[in-house]
Structure 1
């Protein structure tokens, strides 16, 4: 008796589904482990020096790869890409100031609250109040207010450096602005041209600050080498992996997978930087992740259909902007 025929496409379907998922997870790992490398570089080049190296070197690579045209754009087009680049630059400056003071997982969790708030506001659905409450509970747990100071790092708000937490929340606000202007930039500039130009604007904003803080230290060969590694891991490689993933994955699935980044950041902080998490911290991060996933699903559920515009910036705006 002959063996039953096996439908090859049916067998290969799970593999095809796992491929883009692996690309998105690899992108998140690249971003957060790149942030870990950046933190290790900070004692040598300073937080502002590291962010200026990341943006400047990433801009050079993106400009070389994309070679965007500079002609044919209106004043409004340039105003949009400048606003996009300014939001990108400020977001990264504030985030790197944050991770210089508080653990990476906590910083990413606090930063995600900015896009989460934007998603809740844009959706205007009552169910999003649940996600907002979950995120707020996570924030309270992470700050230490709920425990009255239990934990190894001190009590109350002292569990997290308040300045570092404020920087992370500011980065989240800039991330929300980044989402708004990235969508507009994606409509005005083709492919990744807007990202390359916006990154150049962000680099021009960060470079004077980095030079003022670190000066000639930024030109040390080892510092430049690590800065290039951060630029490739945190910017260039994730853009490429996500672009490949979204060619084979719906934007809603992409957005939900990206909501795992606070957990990836906490893992990177533990493995690379030896930043341990308490059970309360892990619960807080989990609550924010669930809130992010819920807000994304609520926003995109009623309007599933065409895939989001390509490019990291356009994808975040189309998929609710969660998370970085």
Structure 2
């Protein structure tokens, strides 16, 4: 048996035993011109006349041909994170961006991905939506020196390590990035949803280099955001800013849908500037004002990225809003 060196995504469909997902998920055959979405690139098969070879290169696309969101069951056992199909209403939502690179990757482009990248598989991440007693959620800004999604606002999180549970991994990442030390008994945890994350996030900005499924976990605490703020000790190598967002601010953030055009309509009651905690290279916190427009930036189609809330984070925040509404909380 091959030694497991890291947690990777495995896929199961039609009651087939789970298989390790490829970085660029598989090549399949279909009868030429029949049953394929228009967005799928194909080439005529030289081995099977009348058949076309096409790349099903998205984890989400493994479970749905045309949609960007699907429900799945997930489990983490024996250092394997397994996704399998399920009936609607009985699973966890899995979503990809409308502009997910693997959705549009051609067979030739998939084959051109360097072997050292292809061999990585699909990694598993965990991100923590830490909700305070007064219903605010913590976001952190990744430092500009990080290779992946620099200067982007996300919840605390990172990779799941061998023999960890999702909750344990999330609490460890929360502690390492923010200094907040919470025990499993201090929180109530809930898995909100899964996000298929790719970097760079669009083909127009380069070929895929990283491929993850991110698990978004909601942690409810009995502490207010002021109490939690007093214990913040961010790691300056990873975090350059911290921000507590409430439901009204979240509504403004998620109204700026990545991949869409047009201006964002300002929401009533949301201030034009937001107070954030800047993190110095020494780890010292200081307050500053950040224009709301920065948090409402959309992912650019080309060129350098901009300071913004990541697309996956917007998805998770939408799930958080739905969860609040389901609890009967006015938001």
Q: Same fold (TM over 0.5)?
A: no
Structure with the bigger RCO (C-alpha within 8 Å, sep 6+) is 1
**TM-score of the superposition, structure 1-length normalised?**
0.26
Greater share of residues in strand: 2
**TM-score of the superposition, structure 2-length normalised?**
0.25
Greater share of residues in helix: 1
